[in-house]
Amino acid sequence: MFEILKRQEMADGTVVMNEISAPLIAKKAQPGQFVILKANETGERIPLTMADTDPKKGTITIIYQVVGKSTNLFKSLQVGDHFQDVIGPLGKPTHLEKLGTVICVGGGTGVAVLHPITRGLKQIGNRVIAIIGARTKDLLILEDKMKVASNELHVCTDDGSYGHHGFVTDKLKEVLEKEDVKLVVGIGPVPMMKFVCKVTEEYGVKTLVSLNAIMVDGTGMCGCCRVSIGGKTQFACVDGPEFDGHQVDFNELMQRLDAYKTEEAIAMDKYSCECKAAG
């Protein structure tokens, strides 16, 4: 059992942060790696990339967007409650290397995953320009942490309610025009990553993305998370989750993420009814 030690709601309650006691995982985890969580006996196995770890305290931090039944169930867990199962660390860690100037682009809860990578890239001696965005000001997360983790931070909102009015890709173009950039790391919703890669392809800048495919075991046993990378099938759980963004078939990934849309709606309806009945 994995106890929740801290809990914080962000972005108007659409995003939740949990700090969870998981000493074995905390000791081993590196930036870019993920865990699989299962709330209770009947729960699903949900992969989430870790937003932070504290090996001394023996904790890991996850930040997730509340979208369906499983994440609503996660959200219902309070400090002192437990996840029944947490498995990890899984996936390959981010390859951190000193390159010069790098850009870290994050959207939505992708910023949570981007944060430790940004910090790691800066610590190793890169000049890190961070660009983070959200639909609107209230949905923006981790601005302060990203400011500390980077050398320069740009904030964008789609509706112009805060920071630069527009998409992260607009700002990305602007920076790419001015700077000699060696690497772009883009993490966020799949359409965002797709367009980040489109932009960086024009400028010929290598781009890493982190893919949030649906998974079951997370150890390469089932092939549920298969993604097409340069026309070849790879498993996001063991070959990733980070890949060369210019090789990723984003359209296939988007379709596969929708594989259980109908079932997700059924599960969510049932959960809402149960919650109402329980008052």
Closer residue to another protein, CB minimum distance, 39 or 121: 39
Instruction: Determine which residue in the list 76, 221, 244, 272 makes contact with another protein, applying CB under 8 A.
Output: 221
Alpha carbon distance 74, 40 (integer Å): 10
Residue 42 touches another protein, criterion: CB under 8 A: yes
| Per-state percent for the chain, helix, strand, coil, to nearest 5 | 35, 30, 35
Instruction: Determine which residue in the list 233, 244, 272, 275 makes contact with another protein, applying CB under 8 A.
Output: 233
Print the binding letters for residues 144-183 with another protein: x by CB under 8 A, - otherwise: ----------------------------------------
Instruction: Determine which residue in the list 6, 24, 100, 125 makes contact with another protein, applying CB under 8 A.
Output: 24
Q: Is 45 left (phi over 0), alpha (psi -120 to 50) or beta?
A: beta
Q: Which stretch binds another protein (CB under 8 A): 40-48, 106-114, 141-149, 202-210?
A: 40-48
Site for another protein in 247-266 (CB under 8 A): 252, 255-256, 258-260, 263-264, 266
Task: Give the torsion sign (CA, 43, 48, 53, 56).
Answer: positive
Instruction: Determine which residue in the list 15, 51, 87, 117 makes contact with another protein, applying CB under 8 A.
Output: 87
Closer residue to another protein, CB minimum distance, 122 or 256: 256
- Selection from 193, 173, 166, 7 nearest residue 82 by Cα: 7
Instruction: Determine which residue in the list 182, 228, 246, 247 makes contact with another protein, applying CB under 8 A.
Output: 228
DSSP bridge pairs for 34: 49, 90
Residue type for position 12: D
- 137: CB partners within 8 A, 6+ apart: 157, 161, 162
Alpha carbon distance 216, 113 (integer Å): 20
Quote the tokens at residue 110. Answer: 């992708």
Instruction: Determine which residue in the list 76, 84, 123, 272 makes contact with another protein, applying CB under 8 A.
Output: 84
Which value, to the nearest 10 degrees, does the dihedral of the CA atoms of residues 21, 10, 94, 254 take?
120
Using CB under 8 A, list all residues that contact another protein. Answer: 24-25, 28, 38, 42-45, 69-70, 73, 84-90, 216-217, 219-224, 226-228, 233, 238, 252, 255-256, 258-260, 263-264, 266-267, 270
